[in-house]
Every structure is written in structure tokens, then in C-alpha cells.
Amino acid sequence: MDETRINTSLLQSSSYRLPDFKQSVKLKYVKLGYHYLITHAMYLFLTPLLGIIVAQLSTFSRQDFHELWDHLRFNLISVIICSALLVFLSTLYFLTRPRPVYLVNFACYKPEESRKCTRQIFMERSKLTGSFTDENLEFQRKILERSGLGEDTYLPEAVLNVPPNPCIAEARKEAETVMFGALDELFAKTNIKPKDVGILVVNCSLFNPTPSLSAMIVNHYKLRGNIISYNLGGMGCSAGLISIDLAKDLLQAHANSYALVVSMENITLNWYFGNNRSMLVSNCLFRMGGAAVLLSNKSSDRHRSKYQLVHTVRTHKGSDDKCFSCVTQEEDANGKVGVSLSKDLMGVAGDALKTNITTLGPLVLPMSEQLLFFATLVGRKVLKMKIKPYIPDFKLAFEHFCIHAGGRAVLDELEKNLQLSDWHMEPSRMTLYRFGNTSSSSLWYELAYTEGKGRIKKSDRIWQIAFGSGFKCNSAVWKALKTVNPAKEKNPWMDEIDNFPVPVPRVSAI
């Protein structure tokens, strides 16, 4: 009886309370409504205007139309001049506008099973080298346990051998295996002949032999003698997007051409055998991989291409000493060469990202987000209001995100700063888990994962973003030209795509 009275009194008292606005009205729907209103403001304005014009024309009599025709007939010179001006401006526009750049297809290299390196094998082989102290072996174990890498990443033969055999011959062997493996698959997918390729751009940051990697490709596939080839080195993990940007510019200058972009990193000669902890981190994260991309500016290739390149935005912070030195290849106190990662890396990456999206935002964000950003900026800077800076919702500009799988910490920071969901981060996290940090090619493994999951629909927008030494932050925006059917795809995920996503604990003990 007492419990019934208590419940009755609670119901009566609650009926006099004001409703909780946050519970009764979904604020996200209010924001979506605002976004829709601003985005379609022009159409909402023009539709009634068009209706008024049509209504006015409907009141014209046959005599009115005859008078209008007579007026135009007796002003023939004006009509001819206006028509000629219209034709001239239209011709000028079509001749001077940038050529569209299409991504016909791409391929990612999947190493053979014998190259697999579980985390336990990594620790065993690291111990067998005799190069690392017990304390630094334990340090590497802790890094691995928190890295987000799984048990199926790959390392080249020279690193897995006991003892390791890092030499130029083995490094060339790794480069050939990765590049030719990706290119063979790409040529099979696209059905183009190697001699049809007019532009070649290869990027590998730490391995730059003579003859170059691009020359190795020209020699292997017997590419034509007048091919325009470039070999980019020392530009870090974001060099893949730099290569795309370079290929885009070259395609603007050379009509009716194919451009081939090959992105990879070489592990064999860049494994660190010292005990400087800032250099040991790269051993734990970087793994074997590479990708090849075919671009075209031929209008006839549009129907068979997967994507169209919409924007590329490059940000370089190298003029700042702290940014310049946060990722450096150098010798340690004992003369061992490795790549040193500064403790300032995350702060530098955040600053570079901020600069990059400040440039990219106006190009891709809907007007609704730009107005909100501008309003908060005026409030903070001009009116001195104590309000938080508004972070634009990039989920309104893109359906898919390919964020360089450089490490778990980088992905965590970008997920938080860009307010992305687990679904948006899934391609990056699964790529890090399955293949590790494959440097500049990781973005293509992520896009391959998205395709394998059947997520790419026609007109979807994809944002690729990567960081690199120097320090650089680069972006590329693509638009899907077709819905990608995973049943018809061949990529390194397809044999096991149904096994993903998998949970990745914060710490996974070895």
C-alpha cells in the first residue's frame, strides 16, 4: 500500500515539471534540419521564383508573343552579338577548365604466407639478433601490446632470417616483390598494356637506389622511351598523396594520358638494431606492403573508372624547426641508423592537421557548417565571448574516411578531434591491425577494406588524409563514380573480409 502511494505521488509531482528539452527534442535532428535548410536555400528560393515566372508567362496572349518576336526580329544585331558572346564564353570555359582526373582502379600487394610475422615471432627474432638489451626488449613488447597490430602482419625475408641479412640485394628484392606484385594485379584488373602508360610516379621514403625504383619498373615492364617518370624519396608516409597530386598536375599538361602511381616503403635496410628507444618504435609499427594506382584523364575512361579526384590539399610545416625535426633519420650514439620519433610528434601532427583542414574546409563543407564556424569565430575573436571553438562536422562533407594507419595514438586523436564514429574509423583500425603501418600505401588498404565491405555507393565522397616527415599533412578527396560491388572485387581483404571487424583491446598481452 505504501509503495503504491509513493509511486502515485511521484507521478503527480512529475506532471508539474517542465519537459527535459534534450530528451523531448533530438538536437541532432534540429541540426540536420538547419543543415538541410541552408544547403537547399537556393532551391527553396528559386522554386517559388520560377513559379511566379511561369504564372506570369501563362497570362501572355498570342498577341503578346507576336510582339515579343517582332521586337527580337527588329533587333537582330543585338541578338547575334549576345549569341556570339555566349558561344565565345562557353568555348573559353570548356577549353580552360581543368581536365577531370579519374582513378580507373588500384591494387594493394598482399605478401605470401611465409612472410607473416606474429607478435611472438617478432619478439623471438628481436631477441635472437643479440642487438637489444633486456630492458629494450621489454620496451618493444609493451609498444607491441599497445600498438593495435594483430598477429598477421608481414616482414621481408631479410629481417625474419636468423641472423638478419640487411643488404642492398635483399632490399632490391623486397622492392621488386612489392612493386611488381601490385602492378601485375593492377594491369590484370584494368586490361591496359604497360606501353600505354605515359606518366610514372614512384614514392619510397627511405630506400633510393641507383638505378631508381622507377627505372626498375620501366625496365621490368619495358615501358616506352618517352615516359615521364619521377622517383620521390624522403617525403614520409604522406608521399602517396604527394604522388597523386603530382600525377594530377602532369595529367593537366598531357592530354589523353595514363598515369601510374606506385607507393611503398622498404623495411630491409631500415630495420633499427640499436637501443635508442625513440628509434625502436618504428620497428614495432612498420610492416611490408605497397600499392599501385592507375589514373587517367581520358573522357572515355569515365564509365569504367571507380573514382574522380575532386581536391588535393598539401600542408608543409617544415619552416618550423620543431616540426622539421620531429621525425628524423639519423645515427644513434653507436652509429646505428634509424628513424627517431620526437615526443612532440602528436602536437606537431595536430597543428598540421588544423592547417590542412582550414584550407580544405571551405572547399568541401556545406554552407551550414561554414556559417556556424564563422559565427563562433566572430564571437570569440571580435566579441570576446567565452565560447568553445566550433569543430565543423566533416561527416556532412564525406561518407568515408581513410586516415593513415600510422599508429593507434594517431587514430585515437583524429577520432576525437574530428568527432568520428567507430564505423568511420573501422577501415583505418582494421588496416593497422591486419597489415600494420605500411607507410604511404596504408590509405589504399583502407579504401580496399571499405570496398570489400560493400560500403562504396555512387556519388559517395572519400577523404584520404596522411602525415609525413618534414612535417607534412596532405589530403585527397575522391568522388565515387559507381557503386562498388564487393563480389566482383579482388583485393587483399576479400579472402577474409567476413572476419572483420575484430575487437582490438587497449592492451593485448603477448
pLDDT of residue 464 exceeding 50, the answer is: yes
Question: What is the model's pLDDT at position 96?
Answer: 66
Q: Bridge-partner residues for 144, per DSSP?
A: none
Q: Is the peptide bond before 163 cis (omega within 30 degrees of 0)?
A: yes
pLDDT category of residue 30 using cuts at 50, 70 and 90 = low
Active-site positions read 237, 316, 400, 404, 437
Question: What is the model's pLDDT at position 19?
Answer: 39
Side chain identity, residue 273? F
Average pLDDT over residues 444-470: 97
pTM recorded for the entire structure: 0.84
pLDDT of residue 34 exceeding 80, the answer is: no
Cell numbers found for residue 140: 618493444
**How large is the greatest C-alpha to C-alpha distance in the chain, in angstroms?**
100
pLDDT of residue 23 exceeding 50, the answer is: no
Question: What is the model's pLDDT at position 72?
Answer: 65
- The closest of 219, 269, 214 to 246, measured between CA atoms, is 214
Q: Which residues contact 391 (CB under 8 A, 6 or more apart)?
A: 417, 418, 419
Residues 28 and 81: their CA atoms lie apart, in Å, by: 53
Per residue in 229-242, pLDDT (tens digit) is 999 999 999 999 99
Kindly report which listed range (26-40, 259-273, 415-429, 441-455) carries the lowest average pLDDT score.
26-40
pLDDT of residue 70 exceeding 90, the answer is: no
Per residue in 379-398, pLDDT (tens digit) is 777 777 877 767 788 999 99
Mean of pLDDT over the chain: 88
Per residue in 337-371, pLDDT (tens digit) is 999 999 889 889 989 998 898 889 888 988 888 88
Question: What is the model's pLDDT at position 361?
Answer: 86
Cβ proximity of 498 and 453 under 8 Å:
no
pLDDT category of residue 506 using cuts at 50, 70 and 90 = very high
Residues 494 and 476: their CA atoms lie apart, in Å, by: 25
Question: What is the model's pLDDT at position 458?
Answer: 97
Question: What is the model's pLDDT at position 469?
Answer: 93
Per residue in 90-135, pLDDT (tens digit) is 777 666 668 899 999 999 999 999 999 999 999 999 999 999 999 9
